[in-house]
Amino acid sequence: MAEGPRIRREKKTVDAMIHLYCRKHHGTDEELCPECKELHEYAMLRLSKCPFQEDKPTCANCLVHCYKPDMKTKIAKVMRYSGPRMLLHHPILALHHVFDGRKKPKPLKK
């Protein structure tokens, strides 16, 4: 199944957040450290398998919590650090994320 613009944008946003976090906390440049690379791959997989796809709410507003507990803790830490900094580093992605966060999650189709 081809990914739509909503999932592609969400992947770009998460990618940017993980890179910001890793650069500051682990001293990396372009390449992610092994721990952040694992988180990145996991996040991309979860987004690809999101049951909402183009109707996807932001993770904070989602009705389905699809992350394993340890990965959920890691991505929350990344988002807490990177979220406020996204306006400086990636303002367009940050604004899209704010607007996406205002959408109400739609019920899953059975």
Number of structural domains the chain divides into? 1
Residue 67 in domain: yes
Residue 108 in domain: no
**Predicted pLDDT at 110:** 61
Residue 86 in domain: yes
Q: Is the pLDDT of residue 1 over 60?
A: no
Residue 93: domain span: 5-101
Residue 109 in domain: no
Q: What is the pLDDT of residues 72-84, one digit of tens each?
A: 999 999 999 999 9
Residue 7: CA count within 13 A, CB half-sphere:
17
Residue 92 in domain: yes
Q: What is the dihedral of CA 83, 77, 37, 55, to 10 degrees?
A: -60
How far apart are the C-alpha atoms of 107 and 66, rounded to whole Å? Answer: 15
Q: The whole model's pTM is what?
A: 0.90
Q: What is the pLDDT of residues 37-73, one digit of tens each?
A: 999 999 999 999 999 888 888 888 888 889 999 999 9
